[in-house]
Structure 1
Amino acid sequence: MYWFILIIAGVLEAGWLIGIEKSAAFSKIPYVIFAVLCMTSSLVLFGISLKQIPASHAYLVWLAVGVLSISVIKYYFFGQSISATQLLCFGLIVAGVVGLKLTA
């Protein structure tokens, strides 16, 4: 359950980063509100996950899920391309996260 919470926290991390990017230097208030809500939710869920997951593992997974989420969101919604090399690197990130899960 705590790993699922951590993954949701990572996806929300991507949400706040995209919200900040789309806020145009904090001039578009709806995006700022979205970013703050995602950031707060992400940190709360990350904190909850620390009850059962070592901080070093949780932090790496949180960042990895955030990076992957940002890339997927930008690919599907904003037309950002993803190269074969990037896909390979994403696969390595996923392999590392799975490895951490299996050893934690």
Structure 2
Amino acid sequence: MSWLILIIAGFLEAGWLVGIQKSESFTHIPYVLLAIISMTLSLVLFAIAIKDIPITHAYLVWLAVGASSIAIINHYFFQQSLSIAQLFCLIIIALGVIGLKIAS
């Protein structure tokens, strides 16, 4: 269950990055609120997850899920390019996360 909580925390990390990006220097309050809520939930879930997962593994997974999520979100919703090489690297990151879970 801790791994699922950690992955959700990683997705929420992407949520606060989108909120900050769309807030346009904190001038659009709904996006500022999205950023604050996502950031808070992400950190709370991360704190819950590290009770059962070593912090080094948890931090790597949290960061990997967040970074991968934001890359995919930016590609599909904000028309930022995602090359084949970048997609390949995202797959490697996903395999690394799966490998950490299997090895734990």
Query: Considering the TM-score relative to the shorter chain, is it more than 0.5?
Result: yes
Report how far residue 78 of structure 1 moved: 1.4
Q: How big is the alpha-carbon RMSD for the aligned residues of Structure 1 and Structure 2?
A: 0.8
For 2:88, the equivalent position in structure 1 comes to 88
List structure 1 runs of 4+ shifted beyond 6 angstroms. Answer: none
TM-score normalised according to structure 2 size = 0.96
SS of the equivalent of 1:87 reads helix
**How far apart, in 2, do the equivalents of 1:80 and 1:38 lie?**
22
Report how far residue 74 of structure 1 moved: 1.3
Is 1:64 aligned to residue 54 of structure 2?
no
Within-5 A mapping of 1:3-22: 3-22=3-22
**How far apart, in 1, do the equivalents of 2:16 and 2:90 lie?**
21
Instruction: Give the unaligned 5+ runs of structure 1.
Output: none
Residues matched between the structures, number: 104
Report how far residue 38 of structure 1 moved: 0.1
Report how far residue 13 of structure 1 moved: 0.2
TM-score normalised according to structure 1 size = 0.96
**How far apart, in 2, do the equivalents of 1:3 and 1:19 lie?**
25
**How far apart, in 2, do the equivalents of 1:14 and 1:72 lie?**
10
Report how far residue 72 of structure 1 moved: 1.4
**How far apart, in 2, do the equivalents of 1:88 and 1:12 lie?**
23
**How far apart, in 1, do the equivalents of 2:77 and 2:25 lie?**
20
Match for 1:32: what amino acid?
Answer: V
The C-alpha deviation readout for 1:24-63, integer Å capped at 9, x for no partner, is: 1111111101100000000000000011100000000000
Match for 2:24: what amino acid?
Answer: A
For 1:47, the equivalent position in structure 2 comes to 47
Instruction: Give the unaligned 5+ runs of structure 2.
Output: none
